[in-house]
Amino acid sequence: MLIPNKDPREILTRERCYIRELLNDRAVPQASLAETRVPPGVTTERHRLSVAEWYIIETGEGLMEVGSGRPYAVGPGDVVAISPHESQRITNTGIADLKFLCLCLPAFTPECYQSLESD
């Protein structure tokens, strides 16, 4: 089954990063895949999802925060596993964009997102 990419543009989210959906279709509710870009010096919004998520770091340098654990450095080739309902955020600590894939199982929906910051 071919699932066409309906909108290849990236969008700036309330999370303070740019997202480009690669796969998020009702025909495949089991998983979603998005490309994420965090500009230098930016820290994404602390949040949690009700689904499992993996970050696959492609380029750049970052500082990852998951749950109550200590922040740790991430870079190209690293994979970060985030359990459902676990808090998370990432900071771009480099001088270039931090880019990574976000794989969610099951698929991401806006309803599964919860901000942990005050508006």
In CATH, what class is 22-113?
mainly beta
- pLDDT higher than threshold 70 for residue 2: no
- CA-angle at 45, arms to 87 and 98, nearest 5°: 100
Show me where the domains of the chain are located.
Answer: 22-113
b/e 58-96 (16+ beta carbons within 10 angstroms → b): bebbbebbbeeeeeeebeeeeebebeeeebbbbbbbeee
Structure confidence at residue 4 (pLDDT): 64
pLDDT at 8: 74
Residue-wise pLDDT tens digits, 23-64 = 888 888 999 999 999 999 999 999 999 999 999 999 999 999
Please name the residues in contact with 118: beta carbons below 8 A apart, sequence gap of 6 or more: none
